[in-house]
Each structure stands twice: as structure tokens, then as C-alpha cells.
Chains A and B, each alone.
Chain A
Amino acid sequence: MNTHISSAYDRDLDAIQTLVIKMAGLVEEAIMSAAKSLEMRDTDLADRVRAGDKVIDALELQINEEAARVIALRAPVSKDLRAILTVLRIAASLERIGDYAKNMAKRTGTLVDMPVIAGSDAALRRMAREVQAMLKDILDAYLRGDVALAEDVRQRDHEIDQMYNALFREFLTFMMEDPRNITTCMHLHFMAKNVERMGDLVTNMAEQVIYLVTGEMPEEARPKGDKTAYVTDAT
């Protein structure tokens, strides 16, 4: 991409992008730490995740302010306009992902004193790692303007949904087996749901990246993998 005639304009746009990358890095870390704190029953780590969300929120605020400033001063059009719009939506998505990570960390604090549901921690962690990988890829796609990679990430949300479906059924089974598991399973289920929502938000980001590069939102309906809305029983 050619540079602007006004170099200060380029510097402004670069500065905003840097903030987004920094924010994305923090969010990635929050996802992994939340999953790890659950697996390790590490309440200190969970507390750090909860505290770290404040930094993520502050970054989103800063990105919003910077974007508003660029809109007011530079009146961006075309690709620049899309870049600013994309940044705003990506920052909002990242902030929500951060919130979900915080929520996971909160529930970890509660789960520490509860019985362990076999395999669920590792499954959640796999889910979280997958989401984190998708987030990493979508950032690469964003930085490189790589539509193919963004489309690939968008398709991968299906896998997250599958994993969530499996966990959902698993939790149902555990709860039916032993009603004392219900509290634990409900918490774990919310955590799984959080990760599943993260996947949806990453998909949104992928769509933003496609819009940023092509100027058009992808029309083709993305594969919906969350079938739990239709589940009637654990069988």
C-alpha cells in the first residue's frame, strides 16, 4: 500500500494498529491463562487474568479515542475509512473476548473447591488453545491483509462449535449420572460456552478483515456448528 502524502496520517494509523496488536496479545494471553488456571486450579493466575482485563478495557477505550480523533481530523475515506471502522469493531470484539476470559477466571476461583470432572479441563484447554490459535491467525491475516487466511479462520469456528457440542453432551451425561455434579458442570458449561462465544467473536473479526481488504462483507453464510439449541436429551 502506498503511503499517504501526509506522513502524520500514516503515523496515526500505525499507532492505532499497534494498540490493536498489543490488545490482541493481552487477550491471547488471557485466554491461555484462564484455561491454564482452571486446569492447574491456580487461583493466583486466575486473579491475574481478572486484573489484566482492566488493562484490556483501558486499551479499547484508548483505541476508540484515537480512532475518533483520526475520523475528526483526517476525514478518512475508502480503505482508510474501512481501516478505522475495522479497528473499532476488532477492538470491541477483543474486549468482549477479554471479558469472557475474565469470566472463566472468576469461575475457576469457584471451581477450585469442587470435584474434578474427568477430561473436561483438558477439553476446555484444547478449545481455548484452538481459539487462541485462530485469534493469532486472524491477527496475521489482519496485518497482512490476507483474505484467504481470514476465510480459513472463519471456517475453523466450526471445529470450536463441534468441540462445544461434544462437551455439552458430556456435561449432560455427568449431570444425569450424579446430581452433585450439576453445580460443577453448570460452571464448566458456562466456561465452554464462553470459549465458544470467543470463537464467534474471532469469526466476526475474520469478517472485518475480509471487509477491510475487499470492501465487502462476506455474503456466504458461515457454517453454524452450535447445534445445542436443538438438543433434547443426552442421548
Chain B
Amino acid sequence: MKDTNMQNPKISAKGVQVYYGDNQAIKDVNVEIADKTVTAFIGPSGCGKSTFLRCLNRMNDTIDICRVTGEILIDGEDIYDAKVDPVQLRAKVGMVFQKPNPFPKSIYDNVAYGPKIHGLARNKAELDEIVEKSLRKAALWNEAKDRLDKPGTGLSGGQQQRLCIARAIATAPEILLMDEPCSALDPIATAQVEELIDELRQSYSVVIVTHSMQQAARVSQKTAFFHLGSLVEYDDTDKIFTNPQDPRTESYISGRIG
């Protein structure tokens, strides 16, 4: 495998192992993820890509039997250090999930919730500003500005997912994790979200898990291929898709029986 060390990585994982009970889900993953870049994790179902993604904001903490060893550094700080409170970590590392999951509250409250609990706004005017800015960044402002008090669940699937993205960026994160964000969307909504991801790259380090290799190819600059819990190959996306080095990657991306 090609040497993946880079200058000033945003995220740097060293020897990460994840166990569910006695099952090892992630085997010794080393990866460095750059800032202001879209990094795609691809691989067959159960390969550990989502598990690894969820390590990056410690969402795995909510699963009792899940155990993580190794080191994950964000800006040089070990996020599994005992002194780190996952709540603060998750404000810095936002997450968007597979199924659009807006809270059954108004559009405004959906976006305002994060800033409220983290105390990011001193008054209503500031909160309004954060909500507008986040919705604009998520390319939802024009569609939502006249119905901010309407429930977020009343939006279409694609709009809901963009609302979830707005909600995630409202807490001013530096990293955005996306777990198959388009798998529940139609092609048009998918294209809109992909376009949005491309824009978000200017401000955030985006890590996206996807089952669609075409999507990985379209939106990402770096691609990591996971297989059976191991990171098989990590390289520039165009390299992975034109000339992968590992036969397992080759088989997977070209749809061969591997």
C-alpha cells in the first residue's frame, strides 16, 4: 500500500481496532484524513466502514459492547483520551445519517437545537443568524425561509437530508461525517446533496461512507477501501477508480466476484 502520510492531517488514526464483544470489527486501521477534502469510505456491507466512521465522533460509545483501541487524533488530540467529553467532540465533528432523521419539530428548532445546547448564541437575533447561515450553507434557505415554523418532517426526503446537514453544520463543526447520506434519496435529491457536499469541502473536512462507488468517485478526492474490517487501499480517488493497486479493490469496484 502506498504511503498515506500527509502534512498536517485533520484526522489521524493509528492502529485502530474495534471490537463488538468478541468480534473484531476493525483490524488495525491506519489512516490520515486531510482538511478541506472529501474522503470516501467504500467497501461491501459489514466491512467496517460505518463502524470506523462512528469511531471518529465516538458514536460507538452508545453501544455497550463496543470497544475501541488504538489512537484517533483530531488536530493532534486523542479523542479517546479520558479527558475528552464526547459531547464537545460531537460539536466539533458533526454527523449526518443514512436516513434523514430531522427531529419532529419545526425547521427552525431543528437547526437551532445544536447551537442552543452548546450555548453558541447569546440571544434570539444571533440564533436567527446561525439558523439562516446554516440553512443557506445547506442550500435549503430559499425553500425553507417561509416555513421555518413548519415541522421538518413535512419536507421531502432530499430537503430533510439537507435539513440534517444544516443541523449538523449549525454547531460550527470542523469535520462532517456522513453515513450513506443519499441511500434513501432519489437521483435528483442525491445530485443536490452531492453538489452540497462539494461546496462544503471548502469549509470542512468531509468524510462520507457510501455504497455507491459512482458517488464516491463523483464527490471525493480521497477514497479508502475497507474489506473485512481492514483498510485495504487508501489513495486518490481517480487512482482508485482507474488503477487500484490491490486486487480486492479492483474486484470490488469493478463488480467482480472477489
Contact surface of A with B, Cβ cutoff 8 Å: 1-6, 9, 75-82, 215-216
Contact = CB atoms under 8 A, between A and B. Distances in A.
Given A75-B214, A77-B213, A78-B250, A216 B256 contact: no
B21 interface: no
Contacts of B5: none
Contact of A4 (B217, B243, B249, B256): B256
B257 to A, nearest CB: 5
A81 B214 CA distance: 13
Interface in B234-258: 241-244, 249-251, 253-258
Given A77-B213, A77-B217, A79-B250, A2 B243 contact: no
A2 B242 CA distance: 17
Contacts of B257: 2-5
Nearest to A2: B256
A47 to B, nearest CB: 45
A78 B244 contact: yes
A120 B176 CA distance: 73
B6 to A, nearest CB: 23
A2 B253 contact: no
B253 A77 contact: yes
Interface of B: 213-214, 217, 241-244, 249-251, 253-258
Contacts of A80: 254
B183 to A, nearest CB: 18
A5 B255 contact: yes
24 contacts: A2-B256, A2-B257, A2-B258, A3-B257, A4-B254, A4-B255, A4-B256, A5-B255, A5-B256, A6-B255, A9-B255, A76-B254, A77-B217, A77-B242, A77-B254, A78-B242, A78-B249, A78-B254, A79-B250, A80-B254, A81-B241, A82-B242, A215-B243, A216-B243
A75 B254 CA distance: 9
Contacts of A78: 241-244, 249-250, 253-254
A81 B242 contact: yes
Contacts of B254: 4, 76-80
B1 to A, nearest CB: 16
Contacts of A5: 255-257
Contacts of A82: 242-243
A215 B256 CA distance: 18
A215 B242 CA distance: 7
A188 B151 CA distance: 84
Contacts of B214: 75
A5 B255 CA distance: 6
B217 A2 contact: no
Nearest to B258: A2
Contacts of A76: 254
Contacts of B250: 78-79
A109 B109 CA distance: 86
Nearest to A214: B243
A67 B179 CA distance: 34
Nearest to A211: B243
Contacts of B256: 1-5
- Max chain A Cβ within 10 angstroms of own Cβ: one of B213, B214, B250, B255: B255
A77 B252 CA distance: 10
A87 to B, nearest CB: 15
